[in-house]
Chains A and B, each alone.
Chain A
């Protein structure tokens, strides 16, 4: 589909590691924005679940990172990017039920090993890049048309 004028919006959320009190707020804000944009409710639900999982991953596993929302008339993209510690074995991390969440997170009921698999399941396009000792970048895209 061709658009004459490119309407885009983006929003950046900084995510604090280990802060379970703030956890989920970025996903909440994203949901609110999508509702105000008039996005279909069923799609919002998918984005909400995926972005919540992505945010929790940053809180639980990363040393700090950010969630970036991009919307244009064709698609919604959410990028979750952190500064480390990186994933050793991506294939393993993508397996349902596999988790490296620390006890502090497990005590709160997290670490079921469904984060990345759920993000992949609910998004239309999914990409992950990571290496041990470096950051991780997860990109999830949802088609609007």
Chain B
């Protein structure tokens, strides 16, 4: 069955110069060139946003919803990611940021950081239940979950199957709003204020569930300007801030592990670093670890491709702002209550996506592999990317898959041109000139 893939990350063809930056950095080798422009292989893309960051021409873009889309609903709720708090230079009060969101036109604001408090509690209980099979892996970063589906299927069982703070926030916020205002759920739209493209994708194409509770995603980059001017106009700060310091801390790498009260956890950020550690886990070398938090972006969510502020600056600000979080820790009753009224675990299994497979049939795959190895031996091994594949190995793979030919390699092409030219010269020397023939002596 062919699955339809939605991706937030797309290409602006006009801006693409056909350089090799993105194809070489893509962690799933999901980008190729066709006609001098990049092309994203939908089945492989995990929406990590690495290409958005490395493209010098800003040709890789993430499609998110415009701020105006909140008007599609009678009522709109803002669900700010904790990362939003680290974006503002002169704002030292979390309440001001949340009040600013309301001035932008949202009827209500619910902190995803508060939902992170809940998710931390749910995950702690789940970890208690799941003895053995260590380390358990966080499901918070959708790009990492997709990476595991594509490249580390054996580790799927290590993922803690718990809904993300974003999904939990959408449910709690909508329910509370509907009860308070006496309105119908269909009239209310919940909008995640997102630092990344992967969250947008996961709303359209959920992991572990059929349909997302979130109605749209607005990028931090898009909302930053308008929000700044509103924050300046905030006069009285309301009681919108309910998350604890631990919930807000989820914005930074390691924040989730701390919120889960884990002593023996490892937090790794940056997708290429995460891949290295997942390899180790897959080799069974980190089984003494309890919890692994892998985040696609440098610094954690603060390093998302759709944020305004530099990752390290934002990380530091979040660290300082944490002290200002006023939320009280959740009581056991509050946790029980939410657990019985919202969807907090995955409803669907996370399926492996073996998109790297050469063929369905093993015999065919083996033959292709043998052929691929032989082709690879003949390639220059420079991994220049000029052919449009990320490296020589990938070109060999593309050739056996029928997407490329050896002549896509410019070095192979040069060799070929040279040998053809040589043949022409040899041929030219062999051809007797007409003049000689005519003017020469007539042979016997």
Instruction: Give the docked Cα–Cα distance between A106 and B360 (Å).
Output: 43
Instruction: Give the docked Cα–Cα distance between A144 and B397 (Å).
Output: 23
Closest to B151 in A: A35
Closest to A52 in B: B283
Stretch at the interface among B130-138, B350-358, B420-428: B350-358
**B336: Cβ under 8 A from any A Cβ:** no
In the complex with contacts A36-B358, A37-B358, A7-B373 CB distance below 8 A: no
Stretch at the interface among A14-22, A41-49, A80-88, A133-141: A41-49
Stretch at the interface among B37-45, B184-192, B321-329, B361-369: B361-369
In the complex with contacts A3-B363, A36-B357, A8-B283 CB distance below 8 A: no
In the complex with contacts A11-B373, A37-B358, A73-B154 CB distance below 8 A: no
**B282: Cβ under 8 A from any A Cβ:** yes
Instruction: Give the docked Cα–Cα distance between A5 and B283 (Å).
Output: 33
**B330: Cβ under 8 A from any A Cβ:** no
**B370: Cβ under 8 A from any A Cβ:** yes
Instruction: Give the docked Cα–Cα distance between A86 and B185 (Å).
Output: 74
Q: Could you jot down 26 A-B contacts, CB within 8 Å?
A: A3-B363, A7-B362, A7-B364, A7-B366, A7-B367, A8-B366, A8-B370, A10-B370, A28-B279, A31-B282, A35-B354, A36-B356, A36-B358, A36-B369, A36-B397, A37-B358, A37-B365, A37-B369, A38-B354, A38-B357, A38-B365, A44-B154, A45-B284, A48-B282, A73-B363, A73-B366
Q: Which residues of B contact A8 (CB under 8 A)?
A: 366, 370
Q: Which residues of A contact B284 (CB under 8 A)?
A: 45, 49
**B237: Cβ under 8 A from any A Cβ:** no
Closest to A41 in B: B154
Instruction: Give the docked Cα–Cα distance between A28 and B279 (Å).
Output: 8
**B153: Cβ under 8 A from any A Cβ:** yes
> Number of residues in A with C-beta < 8 Å to the partner?
27
Q: A9-B367, A36-B369 are known contacts; what are 14 more A-B pairs with Cβ within 8 Å?
A: A7-B362, A7-B363, A7-B364, A9-B366, A31-B282, A33-B369, A36-B357, A39-B362, A44-B154, A45-B283, A45-B284, A49-B283, A71-B369, A72-B366
Q: Which of A29-68 contact B (CB under 8 A)?
A: 31, 33, 35-39, 41-42, 44-45, 48-49, 52
A5 nearest CB across to chain B (Å): 7
**B339: Cβ under 8 A from any A Cβ:** no
Q: Which residues of B contact A52 (CB under 8 A)?
A: 283
Q: Which residues of A contact B362 (CB under 8 A)?
A: 7, 37-39, 73, 144
Q: Which residues of B contact A41 (CB under 8 A)?
A: 153-154, 352
Instruction: Give the docked Cα–Cα distance between A9 and B283 (Å).
Output: 23
**B417: Cβ under 8 A from any A Cβ:** no
The reply to whether A9 and B363 form a contact with Cβ atoms under 8 Å apart is no
B169 nearest CB across to chain A (Å): 33
The reply to whether B154 and A42 form a contact with Cβ atoms under 8 Å apart is yes
The reply to whether B363 and A38 form a contact with Cβ atoms under 8 Å apart is no
Q: Which of B361-403 contact A (CB under 8 A)?
A: 362-367, 369-370, 373, 397
Q: Which 3 A-B pairs have the closest CB atoms?
A: A41-B154, A38-B357, A7-B363
The reply to whether B366 and A71 form a contact with Cβ atoms under 8 Å apart is yes
Q: Which residues of A contact B357 (CB under 8 A)?
A: 35-38
Closest to A49 in B: B284
Q: Which residues of A contact B397 (CB under 8 A)?
A: 36
Instruction: Give the docked Cα–Cα distance between A71 and B373 (Å).
Output: 13
Q: Which residues of A contact B279 (CB under 8 A)?
A: 28, 31
Instruction: Give the docked Cα–Cα distance between A37 and B373 (Å).
Output: 13
Interface centre among B282, B354, B364, B366 (most CB of A within 10 A): B366
Q: Which residues of B contact A28 (CB under 8 A)?
A: 279
Q: Which residues of B contact A48 (CB under 8 A)?
A: 282-283
**B359: Cβ under 8 A from any A Cβ:** yes
Q: Which of B270-315 contact A (CB under 8 A)?
A: 279, 282-284
